[in-house]
Amino acid sequence: MHRRSLLLLPLLAATPALAQSQRAAPPPAAAAPPARGPQALTDRDRADIAAAEAWFNRLTSVKARFLQIAQNGAAAEGTAWIVRPGKMRFEYDQEPMLLVASHGQFFHFDKALRQPSTVPISSTPLGLLLRDRVAFSGDVTVTRVERSGGMVRITIQRTNAPQEGRLTLVFSETPFELKQWAVVDAQGMETRVSLYGQEYGGRYPGLLFEFNDPRFREQLGIQ
């Protein structure tokens, strides 16, 4: 499979993991372990889940640098924008890829092949984080909460489709802040995305996310 596909597919069809406050490339991931059954949640677990929900629901916007590591060790860096609810943009430094989420769709553009494509946000793991209100209950199940090294890891999956994969969100405890996610797809392949240099509360041009806008398409050379 092409290196670009290995970097992209888990973002559009699987789940995220581990985080650090300092920018550091994690070692190439070994095969992701098989999913375990949901653990019994403690009061502390529930408090951490509530804190994670509250963090997302307070978030209006964030711009950050990201480092993405695929299962085979392929790495890519770039800039990410998230504007809640419903909008996201991943712009890669060296890879000829652009990902934009808006209007209920995830838009992927391969700059080398000049091929655009879209999938519903609801069919992607990151779509769970772009909802109007994030809640890790109902159609989302928390399967595990773990703590070590000042980090809290919360693993979630779709309640009615656990076979699709799982998403692990990694937060620092002090301050409580998202640092990384890891996606494990249906084939057990893991992709990690670490965030650093976060800037919160910024206002960004709507054109960043408007892939149906003729001006956006003109910039990319899409007919």
pLDDT given for residue 221 in this prediction:
75
Asked if the peptide bond before residue 34 counts as cis, ω within 30 degrees of 0, the response is: no
pLDDT given for residue 87 in this prediction:
94
* pLDDT over threshold 50, residue 17: no
* pLDDT over threshold 80, residue 4: no
Q: Which residues contact 187 (CB under 8 A, 6 or more apart)?
A: none
* pLDDT over threshold 50, residue 18: no
pLDDT given for residue 27 in this prediction:
40
Q: What is the tens place of the pLDDT at every residue in 27-74?
A: 444 445 555 666 789 999 999 999 999 999 999 999 999 999 988 888
Q: Give the model's confidence band at 82: pLDDT under 50 very low, under 70 low, under 90 confident, else very high.
A: very high
pLDDT given for residue 35 in this prediction:
57
pLDDT given for residue 22 in this prediction:
28
3-state SS, one letter per residue, for 117-128: EEEEHHHCHHHH
pLDDT given for residue 39 in this prediction:
73
pLDDT given for residue 73 in this prediction:
87
Domains of the chain, CATH where assigned: 3-218 (2.50.20.10)
pLDDT given for residue 215 in this prediction:
79
Q: Which of 22-31, 113-122, 160-169, 174-183 is the least confident region?
A: 22-31
For the chain, the average pLDDT equals 83
pLDDT given for residue 36 in this prediction:
61
Return the beta strands (E) in the chain as ranges: 61-69, 75-83, 87-92, 97-102, 105-110, 115-120, 140-148, 151-158, 165-172, 177-185, 190-200
Question: How large is the average pLDDT for residues 111-124?
Answer: 83
pLDDT given for residue 216 in this prediction:
76
Pick from 49, 43, 51: which is nearest to 142 by CA? 49
pLDDT given for residue 112 in this prediction:
80
Question: Which amino acid would we find at residue 212?
Answer: N
* pLDDT over threshold 50, residue 21: no
Question: How large is the average pLDDT for residues 123-151?
Answer: 92
